[in-house]
Structure 1
Amino acid sequence: MGGQGGGVLTDWIVALAEAQGFAAQSTSVPGVAQRTGATIYYVEMLPPRDGVAPILSLMPTPGDVDVVIAAEMMEAGRSILRGLVTPDRTVMIASTHRSLAVSEKEVPGDGIGDPLAVIDAADFAAKRTIAFDMEALASQNGSVISAALFGVLAAAGVLPFDRAAFEATIKAGGRGAEASLRAFDAAYARAREKPREEVAAFPRKRIDALPDFAGHPSLDKLVGRIRAEFPDVAHGLLFAGVKRLVDFQDPAYADEYLDRLGALLGRDREHGGASRDFAFTVTAAKYVAVAMAYDDVIRVADLKARAARFARVRAEVGAKGDQIVYTTEYMHPRMDEVCGTLPKGLGQWIEDRPTLFSSLDRLVNRGRRVRTGTVLWFLGLYLVSSLRGTRRGTLRHHRERLHREAWLATATGLLSPNYDLAVEALNCRRLVKGYSDTHVRGLSKFDRVMAAVPLLAGREDGADWLRRLRQAALMDEQGIALDGALKTIATL
């Protein structure tokens, strides 16, 4: 368990055993910190023999564990690695949802562990495996995962106690018993009916189909343009891009996006794109929209001040209607972001005066803990978000546009000598993300990777090498892997 109610579940199991006349003992070894190390709870139980209480162990012994319960997928994998799961004895109960560890989150690219590896290992290592999304089931029933895990334990039939004894244990807890029983019942039924669910290596991507109408004249015009001017294979991503840019700015900005994609489609046709399912246009549909909807201060303020976000936070913490929820944000603005939000001329004027810039940066560049639920801070964020109408005239927008056009010029220039390399050059935009320091680091990696393109343009395997460079750039924040990959490229 890793902060998902392991103590409650452990107490239930011990109380259940003792109520049935068993001697039971629980121990725990806490993790280092949230999601860097999970707390291991160990419960051992035995019936007294001839009136003599058994001597119980403080820690599990590999090869001598009957049940392993993991409240998260990778915790199941760690249990297997520790040798606690054995094929002749252990029943593995695991929730298939993910609560990402810090080591997974800190990777610039996709650092998420492979759940299929855990499932395959469990099939080999465990006597029997029960695995499905118990977190979602518990949430649907207004409870927490510990209640669902307890229900699955009852359904597994490993312990010599009937279902009524499990339910009585929950009822004895008093507070929250009704919701816990709902989750218990749902998990019990699910474990009996369908104890395993299919686990995908990657989350399924959902791209909405292009609708007939969007419900507003300006939006209907955009939908009509997509249908009339672009190949069917690009419709889904173009529609996603249009939605993103309307949300980011306005319909006119999305119309500008379609103008730019139309020009790229023309170049794609000229260089045999039809025979390649318009891979260049489809890739551009995604990453041009990403580039145009960059994360600036205005965007960040807009997202944090939205009613939908406050509602989502309330739902995540389970707040009731009469409860007040405050969200504390950590913000660390720099003068770079302030200048980027100013009109192009003014922002550039300040940046061109290092003494003035440094003096202002000392006033601005410090961490702040912002309670967005308070009136003053909410109004501040709301006012910043209202600057959306001035965005096209800001210094940041000017620089983003220049950088975007330089990138697209490089990519389109590769269409004739190396179509696949041109597509990979578009994919490199994935390296640019976030804002503030995160954006600066990503932009630096992007520029370094793109600088290697001239060395690869004449190679048949140029696209493969550029893909390797991009993957290396996403492996670590410091860019160590990218440094090594660039040295390799230089020797080709």
Structure 2
Amino acid sequence: MLEPHLHPRADVQHDERVIKLAVLAVGGQGGGVLADWITDVAERNGYLAQSTSVAGVAQRTGATIYYVEMCRDTGRLPVFALSPSQGDVDILIAAELMEAGRAIIRGFVTPERTTLIASSHRIAAVSEKIEPGDGRASSPKVHATAETAAKRFIAFDMEKIAADNGSMISASLLGALAGSDALPFTRESYEQAIGAGGRGVKASLAAFGASFDRARGTGAAAPQVAEPTVVKPSLDAAGKVSGPESLLKGWQELAGRVGELPEPLRDMALRGLRKVVDYQDIAYGGEYLDRLDRAVAQDSAGHAYALSIAAAKHLANAMCYDDMIRVADLKTRSTRDKRVRREVGLKEGSILQVTEYFHPRIEEFCGTLPAGLGSYIEARPKLAAFLDRRINHGRRIRTDSFAGFAALWFIGGLRRWRRRLLRHAIETAHLERWYALALGHAREDYALGTEILNCRRLIKGYSDTHVRAQSKFDRVLSALDLVKGRPDAADWIRRLREAALKDEKGDMLDGALKTVASL
């Protein structure tokens, strides 16, 4: 909805140039507050200002555009536009990096005119999340493009500055705008606009000041893309695990086995070991290393242990499948409660109400039963349908209540019996078939065996998502008989896997499979 607000003022010098400013922000980032602050600052300095907003479709499918036009009050009523036009924006503020990229694509940013101010942090868009593989867009490419596309580009992590000061990113964005000197207003004018709001003033001013100083310090310099710090686990770090003495002894024995593996493999093996022990127990970690030893036995340094590294990664993921027990366990961990409180910015002593959306299918329900009983129910469709209607009657569980938390805590506690349950039997059988297939082919074609191991990347998720993922996995490996024996067999399996990861519907995979069938 367009909401123009015109506030005329009088008695200022003659200058009819209209300054055009656009803010792109998604829900919860305070874009409307930022636009109001900018309008207020303009009016405090004797400018006429109009702000409008055009809402996006939904969170992360389209940002809301807040558009502000301003000019000095010369006594003549100006004609302001209601939305930005291509090539006609002086200042563009993006509350997230990819929104800056979208603004460039839409033609709002021009090299001879536009000052582009963007927070360098990322919020994954829906299009990035729905891709089964790694759908993340390249941040360095956006930075490089922005340098060329804008007259001036200012970028740093304004979200972190806001969080560090207990405020919203709108305050950081305003600080960057003030620090850029793109508008002819004093710092005091901006601070007065913040102060007039009356709520969260102290935190907002702190975030504003920190961002103002950062913009002043980096505005003329090219923004740098920080490389993520990768902290690799070590066997020394493994010794610092805390817990009962009996469990620590078992962990040290497993860590010692990892230390005896070939050096290129130890990092991934230790990561995998940590994951499976956290998922189940020490004995499960022993099973993981036993399986890994089978790959190591037929590997060599000549291949840089690619087969074993792939086995270390994907065996851990296969053994840590998502079931009702895992989901319930994660939802009731104290670390999750702390993370949620931190993310929502909850103050000490405040009450947090959490509603969990828990919708297991009858297959997930049967998977938590002893193998015999679960198989009995699945073999009788009428009984399964009757139970499905009952278990899905209530899909929302309040884990801030005793009853809701206790229910999930009980389900999570079933992991001590996981090995006796139907889902574990199914997953273990599937894992062994896949692993034997990969190692069997690796004896004749090392690269092909490695690619078969990497195909486990296709299987992920819970409930319907897991079913669709496993279907893609099966379809990719269905081409194995058509390509094995060819010198490029591994390359074809890799192409099929990448095609399956590209889109959720599987249209690209269908096309790739037709190509393989025509070989």
TM-score, normalised to structure 1, is 0.95
The aligned residue for residue 485 of structure 2 is 458
SS for the counterpart of 2:469 is: helix
In the alignment, structure 1 segments of 5+ residues that lack a partner are: none
Query: Offset of 1:415 from its aligned partner?
Result: 1.4
Conserved 8 A contact 1:22-1:48: yes
Query: Which residue number corresponds to residue 249 of structure 2?
Result: 217
Return the letter of the residue paired with 2:65: I
Secondary structure (helix, strand or coil) at the match of 1:185 reads helix
Query: In structure 1, how many angstroms separate the alpha carbons of the residues matched to 2:198 and 2:380?
Result: 67
Deviation by residue 1:161-203 (Cα, 9 ceiling, x = unmatched): 1212212221222210110111111111222223454337x96
- Name the counterpart of 2:265: 234
- Following the alignment from structure 1 to structure 2, what is the Cα–Cα distance between the partners of residues 62 and 476? 32
- Equivalent positions of 1:203-282 (< 5 A) are 206-211=231-236, 213-215=239-241, 216-228=248-260, 230-268=261-299, 273-282=300-309
Report the residue type matching 1:118 in the other structure. Answer: V
Q: Which residue of 2 aligns with 1:23?
A: 48
Aligned to 1:58: 82
The alpha-carbon deviation at position 438 of structure 1 amounts to 0.7
Contact 1:332 1:366 in 2 (8 A): no
Which residue among 131, 135, 147 is the counterpart of 1:111? 135
2:65 match: 40
- The equivalences for 1:59-138 within 5 A come to 59-138=83-162
Q: Distance in 2 between matches of 1:409 and 1:367?
A: 41
Whole-Å separation in 1 of the counterparts to 2:453 and 2:393: 35
Shift, 1:256, TM fit: 1.1
Point out the more displaced range, 275-284 or 469-478. 469-478
In 1: Cα distance, 2:89 partner to 2:379 partner: 68
1:383 counterpart residue number: 410
Residue identity opposite 1:164 in structure 2? E
Instruction: Give deviations 1:113-148, integer Å, cap 9, x for gaps.
Output: 222332222122110101121112211111111011
SS of structure 2 residue aligned to 1:329: strand
- After superposition, residues 422-437 of structure 1 pair within 5 angstroms as 422-437=449-464
Residue identity opposite 1:222 in structure 2: L
Q: Is 2:224 the counterpart of 1:198?
A: yes
Alignment-mate amino acid for residue 120 of structure 2: T
Deviation at 1:63, TM superposition (A): 2.4
Report the Cα offset of residue 204 of structure 1: 6.3
Task: State how many pairs are aligned.
Answer: 485
Return the alpha-carbon distance in structure 1 between the equivalents of residues 164 and 437 of structure 2.
49
Change (3 A) 1:435 1:413: same
Is residue 319 from structure 1 mapped to residue 346 from structure 2 by the alignment?
Answer: yes
Alignment of 1:419 onto 2:450: no
1:181 matches 2:212: no
Deviation at 1:322, TM superposition (A): 2.3
Question: Which of residues 332, 341, 345 is equivalent to 2:368?
Answer: 341
Q: Distance in 1 between matches of 2:121 and 2:279?
A: 31
Following the alignment from structure 2 to structure 1, what is the Cα–Cα distance between the partners of residues 202 and 121?
24
Distance 1:416 1:246 in 2: 30
Q: Secondary structure at the match of 2:68?
A: strand
Q: Deviations over 1:218-268 (max 9, x none)?
A: 22111111102x111111111111111111001111111111111210022
When normalised by structure 2's length, the TM-score is: 0.90
Instruction: Tell me how far 1:206 sits from its aligned partner.
Output: 4.5
Q: What is the SS of the residue equivalent to 1:23? A: strand
In 2, distance between residues paired with 1:284 and 1:193?
A: 48
Rounded to whole Å, the distance in 2 between the matches of 1:462 and 1:205 is 33
Question: Structure 1 residue 29: deviation in Å?
Answer: 0.5
* Residue 157 (1) aligns with residue 181 (2): yes
Letter of the aligned partner of 1:31 in structure 2?
A: G
Structure 1 CA distance for aligned equivalents of residues 417 and 181 of structure 2: 65
Q: Which amino acid aligns with 2:225?
A: V
Deviates more, 1:213-222 or 1:15-24: 213-222
Identity value in percent: 54
Inter-partner Cα distance in structure 2 for 1:329 and 1:477: 25
Deviation of 1:108 after TM superposition, in Å, equals 1.4
Task: Report the 3-state secondary structure (helix = DSSP H, G, I; strand = E; otherwise coil) of the residue aligned with 1:211.
Answer: helix
Distance 1:429 1:396, change over 3 A: same
In the superposition, relative to structure 1, how do residues 104 and 246 fare at CA in structure 2: closer, same or farther (>3 Å)?
same
Q: What CA distance in whole angstroms lies between the structure 2 residues aligned with 1:33 and 1:24?
A: 28
Q: Supply the distance in 1 between the matched residues of 2:47 and 2:328 (Cα, whole angstroms).
A: 57
In structure 1, which of residues 330, 334, 343 is the aligned counterpart of residue 357 of structure 2?
330
The amino acid that maps onto 2:210 is: A
Structure 1 vs Structure 2 CA RMSD: 1.6
1:210 positional shift: 2.8
Alignment partner, residue 11 of structure 1: 36
Alpha-carbon distance, 1:77 to partner: 1.3
Letter in 1 for 2:319: M
Native 8 Å contact 1:72 1:99 kept in 2:
yes
The amino acid across from 1:453 in the alignment is: L
Distance 1:443 1:306, change over 3 A: same
Q: Distance in 2 between matches of 1:60 and 1:19?
A: 23
CA contact (8 A) 1:340 1:395 kept: yes
Structure 2 residue identity aligned to 1:388: R
- In structure 2, the CA distance between the partners of 1:267 and 1:111, relative to structure 1 (3 Å rule), is same
- Flag structure 2 segments of 5+ consecutive residues without an equivalent: 1-24, 242-247
* Alpha-carbon displacement from aligned partner over 1:327-380 (angstroms, at most 9, x marks no partner): 212221111111111111111122222332222223224561221111111000
Residues 25, 56 of structure 1: 8 Å contact kept = yes
Distance across 1 between alignment mates of 2:304 and 2:408: 44
Letter in 2 for 1:322: G
Decide whether the 8 Å contact of 1:207 with 1:237 is kept in 2.
Answer: no
Shift of 1:37: 1.3
Partners of 1:459 and 1:185 lie apart in 2 by: 64
